[in-house]
């Protein structure tokens, strides 16, 4: 049996110092819905688990400017059910509810969800090569089972996706990740939080080593009241996204005044569709311009033999979601 030490600190300081000791490989344990699986599969082998569930990080607070400060250990189901989230950020509530199962959402936390690892079947199987799990061992996915994997921001060394839903909505909302480390507190804009693999896929995020996420701040966005999240998947519940879209739109007459679009299931990073947004600001709110913008965003896609479907899927999902939000389908 692998010896494993479990610590349950009662304060953030204590947690940071346990993490900072660095004597043995250490992981933070939140809901455990991802980490415990990875321990059992021998994908991750920490020797010390630091439980973050008792640090008082489980509150959702209003920020002075009308946004929300979401504690790191707020459960996904609690967050989705919060009336402020449902009212101000429908896309976030829907993204949360489209994920996993009721049981998992009851355990899964805000920070754990952001930090969840890819579901690439090669990453999850410790008997096979994987550059993310074992740098330099190779990537069998590029030529192998890649239907679920990425086509934007991927590299020759890794085509894994960030598999989550919540982060896609957060990226559309320009959220900010707050953390504390031994040398103090810091923030990272969510758009910079998940890394692209380049030639080093081993690190998923830009969170500094030894840091603990304390909260995710969601700034106010008035037109997020006209927002939604749609996810295409292989079964109607309990499946990761083949592709997903988080979108909010502000229409003035027949013209798009402002828009946010983020894509899930297509990249190692929840993908903010900047190019599409740029094209649509000031453009007519029509199916044609929605489609053209989505196609432009996908122009840089590098699908594998197996996941080319995602190009069509994203274009259709974006178009359909924006039609739905603007009620402009004739």
Partner 1 sequence: MSALGAPLRRLEGTAKVTGAARYSFEHTPDGCVYAWPVQSTAAMSRIIAIDVDAVLAMPGVVDVITADDAERLEDADDGELMVLQSSNVAYRGQVVALVVAESLETAREAATRLRVDYQTGDVDAVLEPGHPKLYAPDEVNAGFPTDTSVGDIDQALAQAHAVVDHTYSTPAQFNSPMEPHATVATWSDGRLDVFESSQGSSSTVQILSTLFGIPAADITVDSQHVGGGFGAKGSPRPNVVLAVMAARRVGRPVKLAYTRQMMFALAGYRTPTFSRIRLAAGEDGRLLGLAHDAISQTSTIEEFTEQTAESSRHMYAAPHRSTSHRVAALDVPTPRWMRAPGEMPGMFALESAIDELAHEMGIDPVELRVLNEPASDPESGKDFSSRHLVDCLRRGAAAFGWEGRDPAPGVRRDGRWLVGTGVASALYPAMVMPSSARVTARRDGDYLVEINAADIGTGARTVLAQVTADRLGVDVDRVDIRIGVSSLPQASIAGGSAGTASWGWAVSKASLALVDRLKDEAVPDDGLSAEADTADDIEAMADVDRHAYGAHFAEVRVDLDSGEIAVSRMLGVFAAGRILNSRTARSQFIGGMTMGVSGALHEHGVMDAVHGDYANHDLATYHVAACADVPDIRVEWLDEHDDQLNPVGGKGIGEIGNVGAAAAVANAVWHATGVRVRDLPIQPDALVRHLPMRG
Ligand X SMILES: Cc1cc2nc3c(=O)[nH]c(=O)nc-3n(C[C@H](O)[C@H](O)[C@H](O)COP(=O)(O)OP(=O)(O)OC[C@H]3O[C@@H](n4cnc5c(N)ncnc54)[C@H](O)[C@@H]3O)c2cc1C
113 lines the binding site for ligand X (CB under 6 A) = yes
Cβ-count burial 239-276 (b if 16+ within 10 Å, e if not): ebbbbbbbbbbbbeeeebebbbbbbbbbbbbbbbbebb
23 lines the binding site for partner 1 (CB under 8 A) = no
229 lines the binding site for ligand X (CB under 6 A) = no
93 lines the binding site for ligand X (CB under 6 A) = no
190 lines the binding site for ligand X (CB under 6 A) = no
Phi, psi at 78, each rounded to 5°: -65, -40
Mark residues 260-299: x for contact with partner 1 by CB under 8 A, - for none.
--------------------------xxx-xx--------
36-75 residues in contact with partner 1 (CB under 8 A) are 42
Residue 167 is encoded by which pair of tokens?
A: 């982060």
77 lines the binding site for partner 1 (CB under 8 A) = no
Sheet holding 60-62, edge to edge: 60-62, 68-71, 212-218, 176-181, 184-189
5 lines the binding site for partner 1 (CB under 8 A) = no
d(CA 7, CA 18): 8
Which one of 12, 60, 81, 107 is in contact with ligand X (CB under 6 A)?
107
Nearer to ligand X, 26 or 304 (CB): 26
Contacts of 24 (CB under 8 A, 6+ apart): 5, 46, 47, 48
**Among partner 1, ligand X, none, partner that 242 touches (CB below 5 to 8 angstroms by kind):** partner 1
Which one of 16, 18, 29, 245 is in contact with ligand X (CB under 6 A)?
29
Contacts of 40 (CB under 8 A, 6+ apart): none
67 lines the binding site for ligand X (CB under 6 A) = no
Mark residues 283-302: x for contact with ligand X by CB under 6 A, - for none.
--------------------
- Helix 309-326 vs helix 287-297: angle between axes, to the nearest 10 degrees? 140
**Among partner 1, ligand X, none, partner that 312 touches (CB below 5 to 8 angstroms by kind):** partner 1
Query: Minimum distance from CB of 12 to partner 1 (Å)?
Result: 32
Contacts of 182 (CB under 8 A, 6+ apart): 16, 17, 19, 20, 210
144 lines the binding site for partner 1 (CB under 8 A) = yes
Q: Could you tell me which stretch among 11-19, 69-77, 108-116, 121-129 binds partner 1 (CB under 8 A)?
A: 121-129
How far apart, in Å, do the first and last CA atoms of the chain sit? 63
315 lines the binding site for ligand X (CB under 6 A) = no
Which candidate, 208, 204, 214, places its Cα nearest to that of 20? 208
d(CA 97, CA 315): 23
Asked if 51 and 11 touch (Cβ cutoff 8 Å), the reply is no
d(CA 307, CA 292): 21
**Among partner 1, ligand X, none, partner that 29 touches (CB below 5 to 8 angstroms by kind):** ligand X
119 lines the binding site for partner 1 (CB under 8 A) = yes
Query: Which residues would be at the binding site for ligand X (CB under 6 A)?
Result: 27-35, 37, 52, 72, 99-100, 104, 107-109, 111-113, 115-116, 164-166, 212-213, 240
């Amino acid at each position: 049996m692998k010896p494993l030490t479990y610590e349950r600190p009662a304060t953030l300081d204590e947690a940071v110092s346990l993490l900072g000791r660095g004597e043995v490989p250490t992981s933070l344990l939140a809901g455990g819905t991802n980490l415990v699986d990875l321990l059992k599969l021998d994908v991750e082998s920490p020797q010390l688990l630091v439980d973050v569930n008792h640090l008082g990080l489980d509150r959702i607070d209003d920020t002075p400017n009308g946004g929300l400060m979401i504690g790191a250990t707020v459960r996904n189901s609690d967050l989705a059910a919060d009336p402020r989230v449902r009212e101000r950020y429908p896309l976030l509530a829907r993204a949360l509810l489209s994920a996993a199962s009721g049981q998992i959402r009851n355990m899964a936390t805000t920070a754990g969800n952001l930090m969840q690892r890819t579901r690439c079947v090669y990453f999850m199987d410790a008997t096979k090569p994987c550059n993310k799990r074992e740098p330099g061992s190779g990537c069998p996915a590029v030529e192998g089972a890649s239907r679920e994997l990425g086509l934007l921001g991927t590299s020759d060394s890794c085509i894994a996706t960030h598999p989550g839903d919540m982060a896609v909505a957060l990226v559309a909302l320009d959220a900010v990740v707050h953390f504390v480390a031994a040398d103090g507190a810091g923030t990272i804009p969510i758009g910079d939080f998940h890394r692209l693999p380049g030639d080093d896929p081993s690190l998923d995020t830009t969170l500094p080593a030894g840091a603990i996420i304390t909260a995710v701040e969601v700034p106010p966005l008035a037109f997020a009241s006209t927002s939604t999240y749609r996810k295409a998947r292989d079964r109607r519940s309990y499946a990761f996204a083949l592709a997903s879209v988080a979108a909010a739109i502000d229409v003035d007459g027949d013209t798009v005044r402002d828009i946010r679009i983020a894509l899930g299931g297509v990249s190692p990073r929840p993908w903010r569709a900047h190019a599409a947004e740029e094209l649509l600001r000031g453009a007519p709110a029509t199916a044609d311009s929605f489609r053209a913008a989505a196609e432009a965003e996908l122009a840089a896609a590098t699908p594998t033999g197996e996941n080319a479907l995602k190009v069509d899927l994203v274009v259709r999902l974006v178009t359909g979601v924006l039609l739905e939000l603007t009620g402009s389908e004739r």
